[in-house]
Amino acid sequence: MINKEQKKKYISEMKKFFEANDSILVTHYQGLTVNQLDELRAEMRKHGIMFKITKNRITKLALKDTKCEDIEDLFSGPTAVAFSKDAIFSAKILAKFSKDNQNLKILGGLMGKEVLKLEDVLKIATLPTLNEARAKITSILQSPAKKLVSILLAPGSKIAILALEKSKQST
């Protein structure tokens, strides 16, 4: 049992987490071993994500007057929350872990101000991360440049043939 001061501290801490993070994903963890929870927490920590087991009744108090009020109904049973700035990483890690460990159940969450259901979280998990998207865009942008460079580095006769073909097309 926690005393009043501890409750106030917990509520204050949780309010800060809810307000400071753009992604809040709620799970049930019943049936996971301590080792499995530690493994999940370690994986999340690598990506700057905090995975916190909650006290539902007090957490619902912390949700009041925050941007996260709409997810209050997710807090029942053995609940844990992933707090992060990046919903994609959180969703990917939780989806992969829940696939390997059926005892972790993703309930839903919040991304920005958008309430997410399980299906939404699983869709987000399939999106590329920011770095993956940047790499794809870079490769798309580099492709024409690579073709141009290969043409310019080709022997003179190939360039002459290419120029002749282009001139025939333009007339």
Number of domains in the chain: 2
Q: How many Å apart are CA 158 and CA 10, to the nearest integer?
A: 72
Q: How many Å apart are CA 6 and CA 155, to the nearest integer?
A: 77
Output 142 or 113, whichever has higher pLDDT. Answer: 113
- 3-state secondary structure (DSSP) of residue 52: strand
* Residue 162 reports pLDDT greater than 90: no
For residues 50 and 18, state if they share a domain: yes
Here the CATH number for the domain that contains residue 81 is 3.30.70.1730
- Which domain does 158 fall in, by range? 130-170
CB 25 within 8 A of CB 117: no
CB 79 within 8 A of CB 14: no
pLDDT at 112: 86
Q: pLDDT by residue (tens digit) across 96-116? A: 999 999 999 999 999 988 899
